[in-house]
């Protein structure tokens, strides 16, 4: 049986979306719990026992502007053991964007409020002296019917028309936002009207063991309010490919924002399309 309480249950408005080490250690082998390792490397050298390696890249289409097909997402999840009634726990190294990207797509395809992110990630697990494994678990394929929720995503077309009562949140670096860093895009800058908060500003400093966790509720609340991110607004995060934007999505969900719609195409689409306008300079 899966127990609900985690150390964060009463710290954040949606604290059930975060898992702590003790909760995971108690529940990782419970029926219905699927643990997904979203790290780009390191799985073979050691992972949390029972965790299934998951390649987050399969969640995007070949062009990078939108999600992979429903069938591709469904098959990837089923092959990882995700079933229609699963509770899913995701992790990376604790200071990246891969686990939050997986979290967002899982909520988008129908697992809203049934996914937990391990705060501090694999680094927190090993720092706590927990057992690690180098053996891949036997996976019993699941059976799913994914149901993408259009209310959880913004599109270029919707942004060009204008989303009422909304706030655009650019989660990229300061250089990308101001236009000083164009990367490989045709256009540099940001979507007009967007405010800036780099995704990693929501994380606290590393502790003495190198573990990075999310900032405390009061600090995140103050920072979001200073941006003008009112919970009554539709908040639309974006970045280059909606990995950093998905991290912002998770933070806003954790903080209790009811209407968060990442722009899936992000700057990869906006900064390389005809007919899109851009702004440069500071906010």
Cβ neighbours of 13 (radius 10 Å): 16
* Domains in the chain, number: 2
Would 141 be classed as within a structural domain? Answer: no
Predicted confidence (pLDDT) at residue 229 exceeds the cutoff of 90: yes
Do 159 and 217 lie in one domain? The reply is yes
pTM of the complete model: 0.97
Mean predicted confidence (pLDDT) in 121-127: 98
Would 227 be classed as within a structural domain? Answer: yes
d(CA 106, CA 88): 9
Sequence length of the chain is 283
Bridge-based pairing state of the strands 234-238 and 166-170: parallel
Would 235 be classed as within a structural domain? Answer: yes
What share of the chain in percent tops pLDDT 90? 94
Mean predicted confidence (pLDDT) in 195-206: 98
Would 39 be classed as within a structural domain? Answer: yes
DSSP for 206-261 reads --TTS---BPPHHHHHHHHHHHT--TTSEEEEE-SSSSHHHHHHHHHHHTT-S-B-
What share of the chain in percent tops pLDDT 70? 98
Predicted confidence (pLDDT) at residue 217 exceeds the cutoff of 70: yes
pLDDT of 281: 87
pLDDT of 63: 81
Q: Which domain holds residue 225?
A: 153-270
Mean predicted confidence (pLDDT) in 14-40: 96
Do 157 and 264 lie in one domain? The reply is yes
pLDDT band at 283 (very low <50, low <70, confident <90, very high): low
Would 146 be classed as within a structural domain? Answer: no
Predicted confidence (pLDDT) at residue 64 exceeds the cutoff of 80: no
Would 52 be classed as within a structural domain? Answer: yes
Would 4 be classed as within a structural domain? Answer: no
Is 86 known to be catalytic? no
Marked catalytic residue, from 239, 246, 251, 254: 239
Predicted confidence (pLDDT) at residue 2 exceeds the cutoff of 80: no
Mean predicted confidence (pLDDT) in 107-123: 97
Would 99 be classed as within a structural domain? Answer: yes
Query: What CATH number corresponds to the domain at position 33?
Result: 3.40.250.10
Mean predicted confidence (pLDDT) in 123-149: 96
Predicted confidence (pLDDT) at residue 282 exceeds the cutoff of 90: no
Nearest to 91 by CA among 58, 114, 131, 124: 124
d(CA 104, CA 107): 5
């Amino acid at each position: 049986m899966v127990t609900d309480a985690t150390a964060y249950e009463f710290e954040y408005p949606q604290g059930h979306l975060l898992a702590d080490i003790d909760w995971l250690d108690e529940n990782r082998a419970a029926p219905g719990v699927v643990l997904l390792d979203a790290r780009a490397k390191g799985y073979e050298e050691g992972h949390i026992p029972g965790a299934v390696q998951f390649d987050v890249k399969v969640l995007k289409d070949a062009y990078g502007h939108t999600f992979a097909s429903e069938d591709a997402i469904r098959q990837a999840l089923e092959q990882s053991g995700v079933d229609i009634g699963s509770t899913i726990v995701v992790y990376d190294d604790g200071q990246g964007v891969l686990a939050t990207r997986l979290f967002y797509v899982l909520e988008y395809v129908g697992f809203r409020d049934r996914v937990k992110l391990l705060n501090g990630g694999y680094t927190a697990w090993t720092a706590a002296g927990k057992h690690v494994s180098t053996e891949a678990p036997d996976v019993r394929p699941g059976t799913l019917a994914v149901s993408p929720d259009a209310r959880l995503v913004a599109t270029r077309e919707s942004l060009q028309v204008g989303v009422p009562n909304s706030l655009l949140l650019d989660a990229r670096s300061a250089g990308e936002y101001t236009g000083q860093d164009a990367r490989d895009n045709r256009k540099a800058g940001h979507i007009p009207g967007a405010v800036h908060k780099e995704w990693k500003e929501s994380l606290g400093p590393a502790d003495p063991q190198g573990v990075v966790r999310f900032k405390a509720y009061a600090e995140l609340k103050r920072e979001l309010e200073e941006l003008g991110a009112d919970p009554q607004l539709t908040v639309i995060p974006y970045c280059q490919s909606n990995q950093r934007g998905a991290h912002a999505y998770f933070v806003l969900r954790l903080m209790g924002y009811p209407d968060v719609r990442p722009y899936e195409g992000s700057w990869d689409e906006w900064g390389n399309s005809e007919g899109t306008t851009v702004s440069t300079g500071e906010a």
